[in-house]
Amino acid sequence: MNILVLNAGSSSQKSCLYALKQNVLPSQPPEPLWEAQIDWTHQQGVAELKVKTTTGVVLKDELSSVSRVNLTLQMLETLWSRETQVLEKPQQIDIVGHRVVHGGEKFRSSTLVTPEVKAAIASLTELAPAHNPANLEGMEVVEQILGTELPQVAVFDTAFHTQMPLAAATYPGPYEWLNKGIRRYGFHGISHQYCAQQAAQLLGRELKHLRLITCHLGNGCSLAAIREGYSVDTTMGFTPLEGLMMGTRSGSVDPGILIHLMRQDNYTADELDQVLNKASGLKGISGISADMRQIMTALTEGNSRARLALEIYIHRLRSGIGAMLASLGGLDALIFTAGIGENSSDVRAAACESFEFLGLKLDPQKNIRSPEDRDIATANSKVRVLVIHTQEDWAIAQECWHLLHSN
């Protein structure tokens, strides 16, 4: 069974193909047969294509087109043509899964794509202007190649958080905001849910008996408090801007600052959007980079703004974990995932240090090795600490498999 996954972002389209033997869902994520990425931000009118296969073939190309639909089409063609060919024909694809960033209040689980589902995703564009249209374009490309009969599945990044208690999901603004859809949705749900399931497997316990905090620390950062397999709180809100400090995003700031900037400096909505989403966070404070590795290097060279950036990052992370802890009322495991969470032993150690009063004890030797899918707490720690390699694409492929086999 061949499952194609499309993961569209504002500046890139990523895709991979999983080939499952005898239709069986393996318990651990397999390597994709083919992986591709197209990036259109570097040069106007030129997109960079990168493709690799499990057999070690790598293709790099520059494509000139301004149409994202056409670029995605060219990327997918490398599945059945050129040196990266892994299929004889596109019809060998059995199902396609799409990561859809915003499912609003409507989509509480993954769903087969129908004209009504597409219309509903389009109607949520206002809430995710950079992402939902790109997701719809991906669906359109697949329809162009394989027609409307091929099953396509929308897997929502917000779905995991739709069960959050109303008190956690509602902003204390006027009640009318709720009717307008202004509420906390939460994001990174595919990753938080996947990590919770992997954690239960690693711990050999049932998810329904666990209280977990998942820390998704990548370019975007968010936490989730997970009780009995359900997200009961999270740090991102109406948009992926709320919560922790991130690579280029500020996370939560006093909304009074925005009013001040509008009144004093005549900031427009677009300028506020730019400053909060692109010129803040690690990059904004350090003036160096949004990449934690570069912050760490600058810090060892004595750069004081890099030091401040890291200190704010850790301060906010600890506060966030504290807030999630309060929503759970206890903790069985703290889980680190995504680029920073999986690779930075310094960030993990600093985050854990504040929670030693819970009896949480990190094993420094295990932590420094950044092992994938392992427990890095000491044997006598009262809270387990796990590093889990997030596999959002595999989580989407699993959703496809389940939907196909439940019908």
Examine residue 338 and tell whether it contacts ligand AMP (CB under 6 A).
yes
CB 132, CB 12: distance < 8 Å: no
Residue (128 or 340) nearer to ligand AMP, CB: 340
Examine residue 340 and tell whether it contacts ligand AMP (CB under 6 A).
yes
Distance CA 180, CA 388 (A): 37
Residue (292 or 388) nearer to ligand AMP, CB: 292
Binding to ligand AMP (CB under 6 A): which residues in 254-313? 290-293
Distance CA 6, CA 393 (A): 8
Residue (145 or 309) nearer to ligand AMP, CB: 309
Distance CA 23, CA 67 (A): 35
Examine residue 339 and tell whether it contacts ligand AMP (CB under 6 A).
yes
Residue (170 or 248) nearer to ligand AMP, CB: 248
DSSP one-letter string for 320-349: HHHHHHHHHTS-SEEEEEHHHHHH-HHHHH
With 0-12 / 13-18 / 19 or more C-beta atoms within 10 angstroms meaning exposed / middle / buried, residue 149 is exposed
Residue type present at position 195: C
Six token digits for residue 323: 């807030």
Element (H, E) at 113: none
Taking the complex as a whole, how short is the minimal distance between the CB of residue 339 and ligand AMP, in angstroms? 2
Q: What is the 3-state secondary structure (H, E, C) of 193-219?
A: HHHHHHHHHHHCCCHHHCEEEEEEECC
The residue from 110, 286, 344, 367 that contacts ligand AMP (CB under 6 A) is: 344
What length is written for the chain?
407
Binding-site annotation, residues for substrate = 99
Residue (154 or 221) nearer to ligand AMP, CB: 221
Give all strands (DSSP E) within 113-219, no chain letters. Answer: 152-156, 211-217
Binding-site annotation, residues for ATP = 14, 216-220, 291-293, 339-343
Examine residue 320 and tell whether it contacts ligand AMP (CB under 6 A).
no
Distance CA 49, CA 307 (A): 36
Q: In a 3-state reduction of DSSP, which class is residue 283?
A: helix
Distance CA 200, CA 220 (A): 24
Binding-site annotation, residues = 7, 14, 99, 216-220, 291-293, 339-343, 392
What are the residue numbers of the active site?
157
Helices then strands, counting H and E runs in the chain, come out as 15, 14
Give the residue at shortest CB distance from ligand AMP: 339
Residue type present at position 77: E
Residue (75 or 295) nearer to ligand AMP, CB: 295
Examine residue 61 and tell whether it contacts ligand AMP (CB under 6 A).
no
CA-nearest of 87, 67, 71, 91 to 79 is 87
- Stretch of residues binding ligand AMP (CB under 6 A), selected from 14-22, 96-104, 299-307, 335-343: 335-343
Residue type present at position 227: R
Binding-site annotation, residues for Mg(2+) = 7, 392
Binding residues for ligand AMP, total number by CB under 6 A: 12
Examine residue 248 and tell whether it contacts ligand AMP (CB under 6 A).
no
The residue from 125, 197, 297, 343 that contacts ligand AMP (CB under 6 A) is: 343
Examine residue 190 and tell whether it contacts ligand AMP (CB under 6 A).
no
Residues that bind ligand AMP (CB under 6 A): 218-219, 247, 290-293, 338-340, 343-344
